[in-house]
Structure 1
Amino acid sequence: MTAKKQKSVQAPAGQQSNEEQAAYIFADVIKAIDEDAAKAFALTIGATFDERVQFEISRSSTGSADMPKVKKLNSYRAKLALPSMARVMMALGVSPAFINARQVKEVDGDRFNIYAIDKVVDFVRALGGHAKLANAHNIAIAKSMLIFEEHDKPFTGEMAMCAASDKIRSQDPNAKLLRRHNVDKATAGTQASSTLNALMALGLVINKGTKRAATYVFANTDQAGAFKELLKTV
């Protein structure tokens, strides 16, 4: 008998450990989603991407559909606008509307960061069990968040940047807890913000601080609990 099975046997009758319960709930919700509902939601995701593509084309002086940003969006659409991915989004209780969320007050201003969309795809695929978490920044930052939570330490924007780049020196003694990636420090801010924005868009992480003095924590939900269990395997 394996250690995992022994743990289940030792749990009170009719109950599972917190880890098993969180993972089971999320997987069960995904499986219970009706196929037609998943297909309909996938179409909604696709339409949201189409809206974003048209917005980006309208901002170009040439109106070209060959723009690098548009090509990226179409590639993300192909990965996310699928019934299997739609099921994960539905289980998370997330609308794809964030893809077109304005980042500034101006109507024609920037929308949700395109690099964050790429990271959303990575998280959704991993949560659905369709692929391992692959983005190195996603792994370093999310794993570091989990370690900080286990040590009851605040995870700040500075720590997220330090997780993205081991080239950044920090005076914070908690930095020794980080799981660090090796990107150049000049891009650490972009990588950190895009990963955190992806996690917040999916409802897995919230900022309990302010925009200028952020403190990031995992949401108190079953979905976030399942995500933390996934991170323990990375």
Structure 2
Amino acid sequence: MSKRTAKNTAAQIENVVLEGEIIAPVVEQITETNEPTEAELDAIETAEVQSEAYQAQASEIDEVNPDQAPAGDEPELLTDEPEQKTLAQMIEGIERDHAVAMQHHIAAEIDDRMDYESDKGNETIQRSLKSSRAKMTTDLLAAYAFAATSVDPSVFNVGRASTNRYNVYAIDKVADLARSLASGHFMKNAINRAVCRSLFTFRHSGERFTMEIAKAACSDKIRVSPAISRHLIRHTVSASTAPTQASSTMQALETLGIVKNVGTARGAVYELTDTAQARALEELCTKAA
């Protein structure tokens, strides 16, 4: 290859590099011929150096964030968290048609439960179910509370064990709590009152709220230490009745999403949830204190 040919080839390679194209085919074309001259080797070396420089420049461009705002024009950071809705605001957002549909759903589920118990010959609890049905369907209060807190009424026909269904007495506790939350009036059920108020006094004191504590809130006949007793608001049922009363109220509170069991089935430990319904219940209990 003549010096003039080598010079033209070097110029051609330089143009290819400057245009940002791949140089490999050009290099291969040269190296497939006879042994390159010194001029050809110089041209290849120059092309490779320029290619590396181009690739480095392209890499720097790729690393630039296209969404990055220009200096001095940075967006203002939002530091305030969105305001949490109250339960009352959530209820206000429920359409009346939705509440009516929920009311019918509640009635249908309790009717199914009444049929189930009747078929099993459990006529003694029919009165309790009828009372619960009336509380939850004579107006839309419970329906609005269910809709706002996403409670599925079919829970009344589901049990913790395959052979059992939802605690019948807990249904009545749910009715009392739901109507209270929707109306803004304190609960009528004395067990609900004692247990719920005790829940918040225990949280403020930093003490754990267990099923045993719930039983003690139901019955002042159950002995507890003075350190525990000072945080309790207590009702007066017998010690033998306390387990059933405490269990049904805690199940009702779980159903409404107000508490959760962070312990075990045998060793329940209840914590209040960070929800609108828990905050609404705390407000009611504070006013009643």
Q: TM-score, normalised by structure 2?
A: 0.67
In the alignment, which of 158, 169, 174 is matched to residue 101 of structure 1? 158
| 3-state SS of paired residue (2:180) | helix
Segments ≥4 residues shifted beyond 6 Å: none
Shift of 1:41: 1.1
Aligned to 1:189: 243
Aligned to 2:140: 83
Rg larger for: 2
Aligned to 1:220: 274
In the alignment, which of 99, 112, 116 is matched to residue 51 of structure 1? 112
List runs of 5+ in structure 2 lacking aligned partners. 1-79
Backbone CA RMSD of aligned residues: 1.9
Residue 29, structure 1, aligned to residue 90, structure 2? yes
Shift of 1:130: 6.4
Q: Distance between the aligned counterparts of 1:163 and 1:154, measured in 2?
A: 14
CA deviation string 1:172-201 (max 9, x = no partner): 732321111111111111111111011011
Shift of 1:113: 1.1
Aligned to 1:8: none
Q: Distance between the aligned counterparts of 1:197 and 1:172, measured in 2?
A: 27
Q: TM-score, normalised by structure 1?
A: 0.82
Q: Distance between the aligned counterparts of 2:252 and 2:120, measured in 1?
A: 24
Residue 155, structure 1, aligned to residue 209, structure 2? yes
Is contact 2:260-2:270 (8 Å) kept? yes
Shift of 1:57: 1.1
CA deviation string 1:28-84 (max 9, x = no partner): 111221111111111111111111111111111xxx8xx231232122112213433
Residue 71, structure 1, aligned to residue 132, structure 2? no
Give, as a single letter, the amino acid of the residue that structure 2 aligns with 1:85: A
Give, as a single letter, the amino acid of the residue that structure 2 aligns with 1:48: E
List runs of 5+ in structure 1 lacking aligned partners. 1-14, 16-20
> Which structure has more RCO (C-alpha within 8 Å, separation ≥ 6)?
1
In the alignment, which of 187, 193, 207 is matched to residue 261 of structure 2? 207
Number of equivalent positions: 206
| 3-state SS of paired residue (1:112) | coil
Q: Distance between the aligned counterparts of 2:105 and 2:183, measured in 1?
A: 22
Give, as a single letter, the amino acid of the residue that structure 1 aligns with 2:155: F
Range moving further from structure 2, 121-130 or 149-158? 121-130
State the identity as a percent: 37
Q: Distance between the aligned counterparts of 2:164 and 2:228, measured in 1?
A: 34
Is contact 1:94-1:202 (8 Å) kept? yes
